[in-house]
Amino acid sequence: MQAQELQNIIASNMACDHIEVDGDGRHWSAVIVSPEFEGKRLIQRHQRVYATLGSRMHTDEVHALSMKTYTPAEWAAQPK
Confidence band for 4, pLDDT divided at 50, 70 and 90: very high
**Using CA atoms, how far apart are residues 30 and 56, in angstroms rounded to an integer?**
16
pLDDT at 57: 80
pLDDT grade, residue 54 (50/70/90)?
Answer: confident
Give the chain's largest Cα–Cα span.
37
The Cα 35–Cα 26 span in angstroms is 27
Domains of the chain: 3-76 (3.30.300.90)
Residue 22 forms beta bridges with which residues? 29
At residue 80, the pLDDT reads: 75
**Overall average pLDDT of the 65-76 stretch:** 97
pLDDT (tens digit, 9 = 90+) per residue, 28-45? 999 999 999 999 999 999
